[in-house]
Amino acid sequence: MNSVIDQAITDFIQIGYINEDIHPLDLLLKQNQLLALVGKQALNTDLTAATLLPDRLDVLDSLVNYAVKKKIISDNESERDILASKIMNLITPLPSEINRKFWELYQESPAAATTYFYNLSQENDYIKTRAIEKNIEFTKTTIYGDLEITINLSKPEKDPKQIALAKTAPASFGYPTCLLCMENEGYEGHLNHPARSNHRIIRLKINQNDWGLQYSPYAYYEEHCIFLSQEHKPMKLEKATFAKLLNIVERFPHYFVGSNADLPIVGGSILSHDHYQGGQHTFAMANAAIDFPFELKDYPTVAAGLVEWPMSVIRLSSTHQADLTAAASMILDKWRSYSDESVNIIAHTDGELHNTVTPIARYNDGKYELDLVLRNNRTSKEYPDGIFHPHSDVQHIKKENIGLIEVMGLAILPPRLKQELAEVERYLLEEPNQLDLSHKQWADELKNSSTITKETVGTIVKEAVGSVFLRVLEDAGVFKQSAEGKAAFKKFATFFC
């Protein structure tokens, strides 16, 4: 066993040296730090690194498994992640060095800077590339473009023992305040907080405010990044939000950036910390055409139009950031107080506001663009989860909030569907199965509408899942794609003409 672990330590340090993650003068220091992390007091120095070096993440697994076997750590996902993060921290530069190099590369180009930071975040295992590869991905062609479907298998599910341990551990020590706070940088983590020893954040100013840039550990698309406020404060959509989004795409023109809505049901999962999501990915909504152009009488430099999309989207574009910011703010203010009971839109009940937007910014063909997706979080007896939320007949596939990423055309579906859809396929083929009852009506409809064989069943189910996601987006749209809904949307647009 000692020879195996000694070889793993030797190889890990050599990989760091070859990749220039470890300076020659730091080799012994890093080697001794690694020995301490895995609970060894000595190393066979007669060993040499393997001629053909293994993958670094495979070596990482060997190191963590050794620590488990020697009872240096317990065999649960949390303690394994904490140790792995500490080990990868050995080859991760300090924040000061990463920020220095990032901004040095930024002078070459913004894309060069983000490519450096993105690659580093993958190589040091902060971005969980192996877990992300487990996700099931496919597309659904629709009249609105190709919707993207992801069954999210990347985030590990806690085993029963770890769940039991987590219940007895403190839920929070009050530090870091939340998962997005900058205090997470380098934080060890514990049973109820993810390991962050190898986590790094780029510091930057957004409209003269202190912000950070990091990547998502479980990315859903290319260069999935997060811009976060240094101050822990709630998300709030206001005029300054649009200015900050446009300032970000000015500084990173190869990225889109957007904000979740700021109300429950239609908002994101973390409304307590002001942050945005972005990245280098083109979603179907970005390619959607303008269905109904209109003029903004008070902002002649801003082009406006209703977008051909299942949700209700107003697209603004201009070369003038200030005018675009002001126009977006005007539309948000009007929408906050807008009601049209003929299409079930009510702005507020008993003093509670219901209208907000999901804004997305990008730089496109020399102009700044802002997409404002109109949202309403009202509930009713018929729709207790939300009138403009996935309705009950599609919740067997998607019942969670429709956030920024889904709005743009990428479904993030729960991991339970991997097994559940396999059972649907067996049911359709009339094989022994354990079909979840929530899928039965849907499966029966598929069975009655298609000729199903072993060769076609997988495609049929995926197509059907894509159709359900389209319905999810239509449910979330405040102005429906019916003639009545389109007329009501155009009526709203005429207030600005």
Tell me how far CA of residue 445 lies from CA of 43, 442, 461, in angstroms: 64, 5, 11
167 pLDDT above the threshold of 80: no
Above pLDDT 90, what percent of the chain?
Answer: 89
Q: What is the pLDDT of residue 23?
A: 96
Higher pLDDT, 269 or 202: 202
pLDDT digits (tens, 9 = 90+) for 405-430: 999 999 999 999 999 999 999 999 99
Contact 395, 402 (CB under 8 A): no
373 pLDDT above the threshold of 80: yes
Mean of pLDDT values over 215-236: 95
Among 44-48, 145-149, 301-305, 457-461, the minimum mean pLDDT is found in: 44-48
**DSSP label of 288:** P
Average pLDDT, the chain: 94
Select from 153, 4, 154 the least CA-distant residue to 65: 4
Mean of pLDDT values over 258-264: 93
Q: What is the pLDDT of residue 276?
A: 97
Higher pLDDT, 270 or 350: 350
128 pLDDT above the threshold of 90: yes
Q: What is the pLDDT of residue 8?
A: 96
161 pLDDT above the threshold of 90: no
Q: How sure is the predictor about 29, in pLDDT bands with cuts at 50, 70 and 90?
A: very high
Q: How sure is the predictor about 158, in pLDDT bands with cuts at 50, 70 and 90?
A: low
Q: Which residue has the tokens 């083929």?
A: 429
Mean of pLDDT values over 219-230: 97
> At residue 471, what is the residue type?
R
Q: What is the pLDDT of residue 3?
A: 85
Handedness of CA 233, 235, 239, 241 (dihedral sign): positive
The helix/strand/coil state of 282 is coil
Spatial separation of the C-alpha atoms in residues 350 and 85, rounded to whole Å = 49
Mean of pLDDT values over 323-337: 97
119 pLDDT above the threshold of 70: yes
19 pLDDT above the threshold of 70: yes
Output helix, strand, coil percentages for the chain, rounded to the nearest 5. 40, 20, 40
169 pLDDT above the threshold of 90: no
Q: How sure is the predictor about 157, in pLDDT bands with cuts at 50, 70 and 90?
A: low
Taking residue 313's Cβ as centre, other Cβ atoms within 10 Å add up to 26
327 pLDDT above the threshold of 90: yes
Spatial separation of the C-alpha atoms in residues 99 and 106, rounded to whole Å = 10
The helix/strand/coil state of 252 is coil
The helix/strand/coil state of 455 is coil
Contact 182, 230 (CB under 8 A): yes
Q: What angle do CA 469, 275, 115 make, to 5 degrees?
A: 85
pLDDT digits (tens, 9 = 90+) for 264-305: 899 766 789 999 999 999 999 999 999 999 999 999 999 999
Q: What is the pLDDT of residue 45?
A: 87
Spatial separation of the C-alpha atoms in residues 245 and 358, rounded to whole Å = 12
Q: What angle do CA 263, 220, 315 make, to 5 degrees?
A: 55
Mean of pLDDT values over 34-45: 95
**DSSP label of 126:** S
Q: What angle do CA 336, 338, 341 make, to 5 degrees?
A: 135
Q: What is the pLDDT of residue 168?
A: 57
pLDDT digits (tens, 9 = 90+) for 58-102: 999 999 999 999 999 999 999 999 999 999 999 999 999 999 999
